[in-house]
């Protein structure tokens, strides 16, 4: 079944990977809404200021998107934060903030989207994880744990929602050239690249292309999968 002009929601879609995904899908005719917190919404997209860690804010988000462009048919759960430190130096707040945004909020957003998709017996849920979930990442125990949790979430939901025509998949980016990764130290960046067979950072547009496929009709028999867009970083894990 080919669908055009779908209602799409991309969390954290105002910059970096999320913006590239949102712009890619919009360019192909979808109606795309994005959430943002601190920066202004990108031009040409329907922006909703939303703290996805707040249950009431998420409920209002889905109400606004439904009124503006219809019930969500494709959800890309991309919003995420980092609070890096070695575990022995990591505060409870560092742990809680990352788990709240990168895992608990994703569960919350997916729950709302699923309700809307069930009525149509069709939907695409795409969760943006990280190669850190599979390789581990010193100084990012909170982040890696949250991103690994998305895999269990997706595979459990694949069982729950598959009979209703809803697919649930994970994209796992490696080192992608964004504002966030440009802040990495030279040594840290070189460490990532030394473990990347292609020897270069990825582009946000390359992640967007993977998401576009998972959101397509052609990916209708693909669910519970993890698609690495990592230049080979963590391959086979």
Domain boundaries, given as residue ranges, for the chain: 7-229
For residues 217 and 207, give the distance between their C-alpha atoms in angstroms, rounded to a whole number: 18
Neighbours of 79 (CB within 10 A): 25
pLDDT of residue 4: 67
pLDDT for 180 beyond 90: no
Q: Which residues form the catalytic set?
A: 143
What's the predicted TM-score (pTM) here?
0.95
What's the whole-number mean pLDDT along residues 42-69? 97
pLDDT for 81 beyond 70: yes
Locate 27 and state its tokens: 């360019």
End-to-end Cα spacing for the chain: 32
For residues 17 and 57, give the distance between their C-alpha atoms in angstroms, rounded to a whole number: 23
For residues 119 and 80, give the distance between their C-alpha atoms in angstroms, rounded to a whole number: 28
Which CATH superfamily is 7-229 part of? Answer: NAD(P)-binding Rossmann-like Domain (3.40.50.720)
DSSP E strand stretches across 26-83: 31-36, 46-49, 74-77
pLDDT of residue 20: 97
Over the stretch 93-103, which tens digit does the pLDDT of each residue have? 999 999 999 99
């Amino acid at each position: 079944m080919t669908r055009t002009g779908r209602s799409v929601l991309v969390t954290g879609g105002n910059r970096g990977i999320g913006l590239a995904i949102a712009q890619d899908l919009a360019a192909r005719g979808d109606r795309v809404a994005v959430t943002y917190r601190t920066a202004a919404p990108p031009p040409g997209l329907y922006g909703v200021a939303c703290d996805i860690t707040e249950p009431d804010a998420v409920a209002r988000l889905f109400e606004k998107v439904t009124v503006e462009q219809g019930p969500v048919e494709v959800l890309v759960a991309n919003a995420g934060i980092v609070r890096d430190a070695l575990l022995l130096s990591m505060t409870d707040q560092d742990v809680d903030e990352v788990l709240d945004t990168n895992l608990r909020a994703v569960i919350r957003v997916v729950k709302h989207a699923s309700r809307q998709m069930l009525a149509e017996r069709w939907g695409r849920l795409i969760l943006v994880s990280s190669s850190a979930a599979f390789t581990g990442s010193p100084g990012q125990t909170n982040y890696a744990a949250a991103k690994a949790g998305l895999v269990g979430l997706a595979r459990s939901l694949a069982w729950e929602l598959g009979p209703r025509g809803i697919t649930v998949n994970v994209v796992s980016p490696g080192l992608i050239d964004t504002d966030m990764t440009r802040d990495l130290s030279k040594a840290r960046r070189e460490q990532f690249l030394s473990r990347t067979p292609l020897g270069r950072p990825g582009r946000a547009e390359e992640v967007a292309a993977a998401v576009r496929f998972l959101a397509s009709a052609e990916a209708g028999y693909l669910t519970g999968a993890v698609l690495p867009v990592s230049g080979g970083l963590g391959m086979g894990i």
